[in-house]
Amino acid sequence: MEVPYRNTKLPLKLIPKGTILFRITESSDNDLRGVPLTDGTRCLTPNFNVFFFPNPFMWKMALEKWSKKEFANALMCIYVLIKDVKVLSLVDPSKYARTTKNKSGTFITKCSKVSQGCLPKKGNSYDPCFSKTLIQKFPDIVGMQAVSFMDGLKTQRYLTRNKHKTQKIKKYIHFAEDSAKFHPSPPELILHPLSRRPSENVIVHEEDSLDLNYKLLQKIPYNEEILLQYMKTLRYNPSTYFFEE
């Protein structure tokens, strides 16, 4: 599946309804309804992106140095796609990668270069965001699948360093490559919460009902044994690198 964009074609991937998404966060409301503002509303911008791992163990490995401080009060949130979603494919065999954001005039760019909109701060330079043209032309493309080679490198080092303690979780960790060929990693899904990516800021009020791509199933403290039992109830989809109900 592809869509035309300027002088190229962009590869897409369909991620099916029922796909399970994992994220460690202190507020699932932020993932579903946007960042809270001082007046009690919430903000969703065209490039509001929520990053999901394909398994619940990645955050501890990829974000190890932040896990104790930044996520001291965080919970493992388990979401499920409630509809099929269309995303850009930035993993093999795509000729594009997350690093495409570093090139000028392309369909993705550094999040630090897109409009801050109603958000309290600008995005990160290391994260990929959609170009304004891509959003306006294809609002039904609600995200991307991409490899963070640094996440992959940290994960592989963690598994090697703790190989006796990580035998049970290794079967749930599946690596992918991209055209940059830096380092394979379990790919992330980077999704907008809304079923159609907006071209303008969306101010969300408490009473507003939103047409979302995913919903929260449960949130629990990080406990490896509990999560391992949960993973046994899921089936792996090798075409998406994610697990499904």
Map residue 23 onto helix, strand or coil: strand
Can you say whether residue 18 is alpha, beta or left, with left for phi > 0 and alpha for psi between -120 and 50 degrees? left
pLDDT class of 67 with cuts at 50, 70, 90: low
pLDDT class of 75 with cuts at 50, 70, 90: confident
- Percent with pLDDT over 90 in the chain: 78
Q: pLDDT digits over 3-61, tens only? A: 999 889 999 999 999 999 999 888 899 999 999 999 999 999 999 999 999 999 988 88
pLDDT class of 105 with cuts at 50, 70, 90: confident
Report the predicted TM-score, pTM, of the whole model to 2 decimal places: 0.93
DSSP state of 121: S
Give the H/E segment covering residue 77: strand 75-81
Domain with 110, as residue range(s), is 2-244
- Per the structure block, which two tokens stand in for 93? 């065999």
Residue 97 has pLDDT above 60, yes or no: yes
Domain count, the chain: 1
The answer to whether 119 and 100 are in contact (CB under 8 A) is no
Q: Which residue has the higher pLDDT, 69 or 98?
A: 98
Sheet holding 50-52, edge to edge: 2-5, 8-15, 85-89, 141-146, 188-191, 50-52
Q: pLDDT digits over 215-241, tens only? A: 999 998 888 899 999 999 999 999 999
Distance CA 139, CA 114 (A): 16
What is the sign, positive or negative, of the torsion defined by CA atoms of 97, 103, 109, 110?
A: positive
Distance CA 132, CA 137 (A): 9
DSSP one-letter string for 143-211: EEEE--HHHHHHHHHHHHHTTTTSHHHHTT---B--TT-S--BPPEEEE-SBSS--SS-EEEPTT----
